[in-house]
Each structure stands twice: as C-alpha cells, then as structure tokens.
Homo-oligomer: A and B are copies of this chain.
Amino acid sequence: MQLLKNRILSQGRCLEGGVLKVDSFINHQMDPLLMREMAAELVRRFSGVAVDKVITIEASGIAPAILVGLELGLPVLFVKKSRPSTMADFYVSSVFSFTKNRTYDICVSKEFICPGERLLFVDDFLANGNAALGVADLASQAGAVISGMGFLIEKGFQDGRRILQERGYRIESLAIIDSLDNGRISVR
C-alpha cells in the first residue's frame, strides 16, 4: 500500500536491534485518516473471505481493528494481555515476546468466541508471528476458525509469515520491510 510505504519512509525511524519506530502515526500517536485507509485496504484484500467477527490484541491492534469492523459492520473482539478481575470464564494462551524478552498470558472471554465462528485477525505488526499464533490458539480452543490475518506492517526478514503460512493461514500485509540494516529502512 503506497500511502503507508511513503509514510514509513518519511516518518519511520530505525533503532538499534532491528526496531522500526512508527510511533508518530501507528502505535503511540495515530493518524486516523491513514488508519481508515489501511482498514479499507485490508477489507479489500479479504473481500470474498467469509468473516463473522474481527479479532485483535491490545493495545496497538485496536485502532485498525475497530475501523475494519466498522467497514465490515461486524463486532470486534480485543484479546487482553492480562486477565481482568471481572472475567470469569476464559481461554488463555502463552505468548513469548522477543521485544520484551518475556512470556505473557493472553486471554479472551469464552462468551465471545463460538464454535464455528470465522475470525479475521488484525494487528499492527507481523514479526515472528507469536502474538498471531497465540490468538489462533485461543480461537482453536473455542472451536472457531481464523479466516485470515491482516497486518499493517510486516518485518519480511523475520519468520512470522513462513510460520503462519505453514499452518495454513492466509496472510495480508500492507507494507513489508525487507531490512533495517545499517539504520536504513528498506521497504519491498
């Protein structure tokens, strides 16, 4: 998606250790107009795919997911990164975060995923695919189906896409980063 690629090249920054900083328009400060365009593009890419509900993971996935849900007229479920005290009956899965170098539990109320439900997963980043696998595990525990996975930005030099595709998931990313070597952002 050219609009996003241009923005990454003009406003993204490359930190040591392969970190792409896009916090001026994606995951701290957000540009709602760009966010709406990105959501519309994800909806276009998954047109023809049957979806009952949009699912994402807090916090940076929520903005693109609510706009995808608005475009599709479907409910949006955000998976929590900790167990809320008021949630009684839930599915839980463990996710290892390379960025934070620790494992955390993600969870979702059993009320909101039903057997056979077709879920479109939306998130801001695809890197190693661990968060996506965690959400897929929650869906699987519920007997629901992941219809597709849509990401704003994919780190093409990490293993996420391969791992998810090997498990049969259809992946769409709006911008793929080929390399962050030598402090330079290279977009496919």
* A residues in contact (CB < 8 Å) with B: 15, 19, 21, 23-24, 28-33, 35-36, 58-59, 62-63, 66-67, 69-70, 73-78, 80, 84-87, 99-100, 108-109, 111-112
Chain B residue at minimum C-beta to C-beta distance from A74: B32
Identical copies of this chain, number: 2
Whether A21 and B111, one on each chain, are in contact in the complex, defined by CB atoms closer than 8 angstroms, is no
Whether B86 and A21, one on each chain, are in contact in the complex, defined by CB atoms closer than 8 angstroms, is yes
Whether A32 and B86, one on each chain, are in contact in the complex, defined by CB atoms closer than 8 angstroms, is no
Interfacial chain B residues near A59, Cβ < 8 Å: 58-59, 62, 78, 80
Interfacial chain B residues near A29, Cβ < 8 Å: 75-77, 109, 112
Whether B28 and A70, one on each chain, are in contact in the complex, defined by CB atoms closer than 8 angstroms, is no
* Alpha-carbon distance A100/B80, docked complex (angstroms): 15
| With A58-B58, A62-B63, A63-B66 as contacts: A78 and B30 at CB distance below 8 Å | yes
Whether A75 and B30, one on each chain, are in contact in the complex, defined by CB atoms closer than 8 angstroms, is yes
Instruction: Specify which of B23, B74, B100 is in contact with A109 (CB 8 Å cutoff).
Output: B23
Q: Smallest distance from the beta carbon of A88 to chain B beta carbons, Å?
A: 9
* Alpha-carbon distance A171/B30, docked complex (angstroms): 24
A-B contact list, 9 entries, CB within 8 Å: A23-B86, A28-B87, A28-B109, A29-B112, A31-B75, A33-B70, A59-B59, A59-B78, A63-B63
* Alpha-carbon distance A87/B31, docked complex (angstroms): 19
By Cβ-Cβ distance, the 8 closest A-B pairs, closest first, are A58-B59, A32-B70, A32-B69, A59-B59, A62-B62, A63-B66, A29-B112, A30-B76
